[in-house]
Structure 1
Amino acid sequence: MLWSDPEDKPPEELRATQGMLRRASVVLALAMVLAMFVLGVL
């Protein structure tokens, strides 16, 4: 790899989008578990 090669890091907005999607998927998974629990109790 040459010193003049560009770094293979994703751009800042792509990293921000990936982080937001990761957080949204965690929240969605927790909401699903909570909904299953609530429906199971009723």
Structure 2
Amino acid sequence: MLWSDPENEPPKELRDMQDMLRRLGVLMALAMLLAMIVLGVM
């Protein structure tokens, strides 16, 4: 690692996309959980 190396920071678009994918994953998990509960009650 030299002092002249660029920061190992992904570009803003990539970080935004990762945040969106993370939120989408959480929403999908919650939706699956809700579907399991609803199907289990029926």
Fold shared, TM-score > 0.5 on shorter chain: yes
Read off the aligned partner of 2:17 and give its amino acid letter. Answer: T
- Count of residues paired in the alignment: 42
Structure 2 unmatched ranges of 5 or more: none
TM-score normalized by structure 2? 0.90
TM-score normalized by structure 1? 0.90
Q: Which runs of 4+ in 1 moved over 6 A?
A: none
Identity of aligned residues (%): 69
Structure 1 unmatched ranges of 5 or more: none
Q: Which residue of 1 aligns with 2:23?
A: 23
Query: How far apart, in 2, do the equivalents of 1:38 and 1:30 lie?
Result: 12
